[in-house]
Amino acid sequence: MNAIDPSMSNRTHDRATTFLASIAMFAVLLLQPVAGRWASAQSKTKTAVPYASIATDGESYAGPARGPAWDETGPVLYIGLLAPLHGSEKAEGEALVAAAKMALHDATRRPMPAGQRLELAIGDESGPSWGHVSDVVLHLVLQQDVIALVTSANGTDAHISEQVGNRIGVPVLTLANDATTTQIDIPWIFRLGPSDDLQAQIMASNLYRKRGLKSVLLISDADHDGRGGDEAMQQAARSLGAPPPDTLVLDPLHPDFASVVARIHAHPPQAIVLWTRADIAATLLSFLQHADIHAPVYLSQQAAQSGPGLAFSPLAGQATGAPTSGDAWTIDGDGQNAAARASFASRYRQRTGSSPSAAAAEAYDAVCLTVRAVRAAGPNRARVRDQIARVRDFPCVSGTITFDRQGNNLTQVHLAALEQQTTSTVTGDFPK
């Protein structure tokens, strides 16, 4: 057949749509109770009595700058937001900005004390070099004198912000999942999302204990976040006595998706874990679809961030009405904040045309928490830090937030796993 058959083209599109729908239909929410949160520390060490632990030997921050002499006195107070606004992660960045703007609007309906106005100071973290990110952080902290800094899911940028925040004395609320930002009592950082360790334990428990799988393939980025996820998954598997996952590492700048597909065809795993950036996860899922790969796919929170640019999520959701990976966080068993969450999700969709990701919800909460802290503590970074550190059982749209002494958010965690239910429907146009 030389001529292109239009019906074939439509059929192909329909099949792709059906596939995409089916891949999202099985959005498995892996809910873990609060009690599981400390498994990270407990599972790593078999030694009964360590000589010292931060939980018992750590101490509260005794630093300076709480006095009125350190107050910011200008008419405008800035909340910094570090987000990627160009390049492949632009969609995730724009989602954070949209959510942060909504939060600022919602939280400042009531005038701030002393007549000060709160505004967002947005720094674009996209760029090829760390030099750029450092300069953006410095600009926000030293030039715009932000009262607090909210960082994206990028773990490296979170660390840079943490180190600057620790020296200068600026509260940092990060959406990064890198557990090392909050494993020790660095007083200035608070992490809203689940740590890599916790995500890995939840996934490992589901993969190895609940499903009894033996062969898991982990695909991660060759960067700081990917390495963190890789180590966390290996550790989680070991702690369960399961065989460690095979690992494929992708260069995030030049990902070789064809090699991934070839590897999977050569050694089909029972399940795949994606610990990559969201844009890479989206493209890879598309490759898996076209390559007729049926293994269930588990997504780290960063990989599951959805935005307008992520084809697999909105398309599937629209086609079936089923939850998408980006929606996963909104469907939890904890109904405590359901109304606020639904309202946020609905207004976010109206505003942006797509579902909010977990990171967008966390950005919304980070800004709301900061405004709340400024109201209570006044325009002072150290006192704002103290207020944020005291947050307990606070209902937010991403969950009920409680920070422990290291700045970990103890809220429940929701992760998505995608599984094809009717794989035969999508295999027609592609040879097996």
Applying CB under 8 A, the residues found at the interface with another protein are 41, 44-45, 47, 50-55, 57-59, 61-65, 69-70, 129-131, 134-135, 137-138, 142, 159-160, 163-164, 167-169, 179-180, 183-186
Nearer to another protein, 341 or 385 (CB): 385
> Closest Cα to residue 365, out of 410, 406, 395, 387?
395
CB of 426 to another protein, least distance (A): 41
CB of 406 to another protein, least distance (A): 8
Cα–Cα distance between 309 and 90 in angstroms, integer? 9
Amino acid at 201: Q
CB of 171 to another protein, least distance (A): 16
CB of 6 to another protein, least distance (A): 52
CB of 289 to another protein, least distance (A): 35
3-state secondary structure of 390: coil
Ranges of H-type helices in 214-256:
224-239
Alpha carbon of 79 to those of 44, 174, 366: distances in Å? Answer: 37, 13, 10
3-state secondary structure of 29: coil
CB of 107 to another protein, least distance (A): 29
Longest dimension (CA), the chain: 80
Alpha carbon of 24 to those of 94, 203, 287: distances in Å? Answer: 23, 17, 15
CB count within 10 Å of CB 317 equals 22
Nearer to another protein, 146 or 164 (CB): 164
Nearer to another protein, 193 or 323 (CB): 193
CB of 167 to another protein, least distance (A): 7
Characterise 167 by phi-psi region: left (phi > 0), alpha (psi -120 to 50), beta (else). alpha
Nearer to another protein, 79 or 137 (CB): 137
Strands 148-151 and 246-250: unpaired
Nearer to another protein, 57 or 256 (CB): 57
Nearer to another protein, 12 or 134 (CB): 134
Nearer to another protein, 381 or 414 (CB): 381
Cβ-contact 335, 68 below 8 angstroms: no
CB of 141 to another protein, least distance (A): 8
The token duo for 82 is: 């570090």
Ranges of H-type helices in 304-380:
312-320, 338-352, 358-377
CB of 45 to another protein, least distance (A): 6
Nearer to another protein, 235 or 355 (CB): 235
Query: How is the beta sheet containing 117-124 ordered, strand by strand?
Result: 117-124, 76-83, 148-151, 172-174, 189-191
Q: Please, which residues have CB within 8 angstroms of residue 167's CB and are 6 or more apart in sequence? A: none
Nearer to another protein, 53 or 318 (CB): 53
